[in-house]
Amino acid sequence: MTNTNCLENIVCPHCGHTDSFIIEVKTHADVTDEGAVTFGPMHWDEWSLIQCKHCDTAGTVAEFTREPQQHKPSHRPYSVLLLYPDTGDGLETYYAHTEAENPDAAIANARTEAQAVNPGMEAGDFLPLIVLPGHIEAELFYRDIAPW
């Protein structure tokens, strides 16, 4: 069971138990000669003592705290520049931002996107010119290059 409340990320380092622990807490108590009744909020920190109720392993809360698992996105951002198929109209490019597992998948995504906005053209006919990691904003323009 994954704890999502006050025991989130708490696990016994010896047996892996996560259900219940004995933890040294700070709270208020109404104390009389006959005993004590606790009330109010309870507080503990990483230095509080903790004991596993399953195997009796003891330590500090810090020693029983595992690092939360970092979610690594399976898809990363890419910027892809494709060359349109040769239609006789000159050199025209298609620039796309996409999310993909790797550069090859980014090219495939960009080709599919280019085909969707250009009916009649096949995705595989768009030639990849460059694939860059990240979403890079760019203003693409063409200049006539004249000899000096």
What CATH number does the domain containing 128 carry?
Answer: 3.10.20.10
Q: Which domain holds residue 99?
A: 76-133
Question: Taking Cα atoms as reference points, which of 76, 80, 61, 69 lies closest to residue 21?
Answer: 61
Dihedral angle of Cα 112, 113, 114, 120, to the nearest 10 degrees = 60
Question: Taking Cα atoms as reference points, which of 110, 48, 49, 47 lies closest to residue 78?
Answer: 110
Strand 58-60, strand 76-83: pairing? unpaired
Phi then psi dihedrals of residue 3, to 5 deg: -80, 135
pLDDT over 90 (residue 118): no
Higher pLDDT, 83 or 144: 83
Q: Are 9 and 68 in contact (CB under 8 A)?
A: yes
Residues 44 and 88 in one domain: no
Summarize the confidence of residues 28-55 as an average pLDDT: 92
Structural domain includes residue 142: no
Q: Among 32, 50, 69, where does a domain finish? A: 69
pTM equals 0.46
Q: Are 17 and 56 in contact (CB under 8 A)?
A: no
Q: Among 69, 97, 123, where does a domain finish? A: 69
Q: How many residues does the chain have?
A: 148
Residue 50's CB is within 10 A of a number of other CB atoms, namely: 21
For 59-115, what is each residue's pLDDT tens digit? 999 999 987 656 556 788 999 999 988 766 667 888 999 999 899 999 999 999 999
Predicted confidence at residue 105, as pLDDT, reads 94
What's the token pair of residue 133?
Answer: 């990691």
Give the chain's mean pLDDT: 86
Residues 113 and 62 in one domain: no
Tokens 């904003």 label which residue?
137
Structural domain includes residue 53: yes
pLDDT over 90 (residue 10): yes
Residue 146 pLDDT level (bands cut at 50, 70, 90): very low
Structural domain includes residue 140: no
Structural domain includes residue 148: no
Predicted confidence at residue 148, as pLDDT, reads 46
Predicted confidence at residue 86, as pLDDT, reads 77
pLDDT over 80 (residue 126): yes
* Burial group, residue 35, by CB count within 10 angstroms (0-12, 13-18, 19+): exposed
Structural domain includes residue 64: yes
Q: Among 41, 69, 97, where does a domain finish? A: 69
Residues 83 and 128 in one domain: yes
Residues 90 and 64 in one domain: no
Structural domain count of the chain: 2
Residues 4 and 64 in one domain: yes
Helix (H) or strand (E) segment spanning residue 43: strand 35-43
Higher pLDDT, 54 or 68: 54
